[in-house]
Structure 1
Amino acid sequence: MFRHQGKSRTLKQNIQIATLLSFVAGIVNVVGFLSFGRLTTNVTGHFALFIYDVADFDFWKGTIYFVYIFSFFFGSFTSSFMIEIFRENKKLNVFLLPTILESLILINIALITNYIVIVHPDIIVCLLLFAMGLQNSFVTKISNAIVRTTHLTGLFTDLGIEISQLFFPKSNNDKINLTSTIKLRIYIIIFFFSGGLTGWIIYSKVDLKLNTLFVGASILIFGVFYDDFRYRIIRNRRKYKEKKIANHIAKEITINEIKKQNKIA
């Protein structure tokens, strides 16, 4: 799930990472909105408000929206930069780094807000936007821009286009790939909604407030460790099979050598 990149990824791997990350994004989006009245998984609305304030010559007021936008951008930049700078390290799964950093940000926000009064909520909003920038950049990079998990505008656009193509089978030869892509996008939408609903229940009904972010971080950490554990099992099985085949070949060679020696004798 966190190891293969681009064309080497299967539909199953893309669905796994898409459902995991979109569920977390849904939680973060709802928690950010309920806590601060701000959207924390995309910057489209913030950009509109920034333009509105600038057009109204209220530059200072619009500055905060620019900071929101920059936070998301900087998260995206940081994610890609981390992946590239550590890419040469073959022993390190570089695609885990942004996910781990995102988890740490969510955990620290939840922890800190339990002990201090939030005087400047915009700082928390910026951190959440930074975390979502990390996530969106990472999943875009690993899936070769097939998976996006932090906002749904482009997703619904692509889904509408792809569903319309189903009505014209003659002009779309690769129906299997088309239906796979539609399936992936539907999974993202469902889990983004499910994450948002779960976040609302935990935030409002269970009354965990910003501690709801612990749930999102826990899901990310579980996904990372599960993927690593599963990878180790698959790798060990493969090594065992290769060793078994090698031993079998060596045994066959030894038997053939003994037969040759017996014939010579």
Structure 2
Amino acid sequence: MLVAPSRSPGSDAVLATILAAIAGAANAGGFFALGQYTSHMTGYLAALADNIAIANLWIAVISALAVSAFVAGAGFSAILINWARGYAVRQQYALPMVVQGALLACFSMGGLLTGEVGRIFSLACLCFIMGMQNATITKISGARIRTTHATGMLTDIGIEMGRAAYGRLRPGCGVACDRHKMRILLQLVGAFLLGGIFGAIGFGLVGFLFSIPLAAALIALGLPDLLKLSAIPRWS
């Protein structure tokens, strides 16, 4: 139901909540493992600009790599979903979930790589996964939900709070808080925060290996439907 091609607002909300928790855990874990928050593209763009300005080219390259990996992940998710719509419609959302899980399992091996090479690989891998996840839930929900974009969710919460306050100040004006939207937003932010707490604890205790249960959760979401895949890919 959660990755079925026929969607409902309820299934979108449940799936988004699960993904937000996983994103929060991976984001916090990325900080403990790499010293970087990998869902925060605004910060990477700012770092890119700042370090170009002061000619700190190595940090600028790392920032550009993180942004490029995130964008590439979003693009790859769109490719998978659109390909599946043509060849395996029932698996169009299951496929990117399983791929994300497989990549997160690869990220768990990042601890085996030492030095700067291992750190760069892990950073690019996690940013790619974040881009994939954000694009996947964006496509699934019709651009209504994004699970790694906490800034946007908090902005929307502020807007709804402002609408509620204005409606109370001017009764009968027709402006009111969208309670359903507010509940979903608070649910997603709470899931991201809770996932971050568990991610920080988990990565602090076992390091990269904590991403294995996160990978297993993503694979479990999509694999049952993917096993029903009957269409044979035909590239033309």
> TM-score higher than 0.5 here?
yes
CA distance 1:138–1:56, shift in 2 (3 Å):
same
Between the aligned partners of 2:88 and 2:33, the Cα distance in structure 1 is 41
Contact 1:202–1:212 (Cα < 8 Å) also in 2: yes
Between the aligned partners of 1:170 and 1:81, the Cα distance in structure 2 is 47
State the Cα distance separating 1:39 from its structure 2 match. Answer: 1.0
CA distance 1:74–1:90, shift in 2 (3 Å):
closer
Task: Tell me how many residue pairs correspond in the alignment.
Answer: 221
Contact 1:47–1:66 (Cα < 8 Å) also in 2: yes
**Secondary structure, in 3 states, of the residue corresponding to 1:150?**
coil
Q: 2:209 aligns with which of 188, 208, 211?
A: 211
- Which amino acid is the alignment partner of residue 117 of structure 1? T
TM-score, scaled relative to structure 1: 0.76
Deviation digits for residues 89-112 of structure 1, max 9, x if unmatched? 245411112211110011122135
**Secondary structure, in 3 states, of the residue corresponding to 2:201?**
helix
Q: Which residue of 2 aligns with 1:165?
A: 163
- For residues 1-265 of structure 1, the aligned pairs below 5 Å read 1-4=2-5, 9-90=7-88, 92-111=90-109, 113=111, 115-120=112-117, 121-167=119-165, 168=167, 170-172=172-174, 178-204=178-204, 207-225=205-223, 228=225
**Secondary structure, in 3 states, of the residue corresponding to 1:145?**
coil
Identity %: 26
**Any unmatched runs of 5+ in structure 2?**
229-236
State the Cα distance separating 1:171 from its structure 2 match. Answer: 4.6
CA distance 1:119–1:26, shift in 2 (3 Å):
same
Between the aligned partners of 2:208 and 2:88, the Cα distance in structure 1 is 37
Q: Which residue of 2 aligns with 1:254?
A: none
Deviation digits for residues 41-97 of structure 1, max 9, x if unmatched? 231111111110112233443121111101000000110111112212245411112
Which deviates more, 70-79 or 41-50?
Answer: 41-50
State the Cα distance separating 1:174 from its structure 2 match. Answer: 8.2
**Secondary structure, in 3 states, of the residue corresponding to 2:30?**
helix
Between the aligned partners of 1:170 and 1:152, the Cα distance in structure 2 is 32
TM-score, scaled relative to structure 2: 0.85
Between the aligned partners of 1:63 and 1:112, the Cα distance in structure 2 is 20
**Secondary structure, in 3 states, of the residue corresponding to 1:47?**
helix
- Which amino acid is the alignment partner of residue 114 of structure 2? V
Between the aligned partners of 2:174 and 2:198, the Cα distance in structure 1 is 38
CA distance 1:209–1:225, shift in 2 (3 Å):
same
**Any unmatched runs of 5+ in structure 1?**
233-265
Which structure has the greater CA radius of gyration?
1
State the Cα distance separating 1:202 from its structure 2 match. Answer: 1.6
CA distance 1:196–1:60, shift in 2 (3 Å):
closer
State the Cα distance separating 1:36 from its structure 2 match. Answer: 1.1
Which deviates more, 181-190 or 84-93?
Answer: 84-93
Deviation digits for residues 109-136 of structure 1, max 9, x if unmatched? 21353x4435420111011000010000
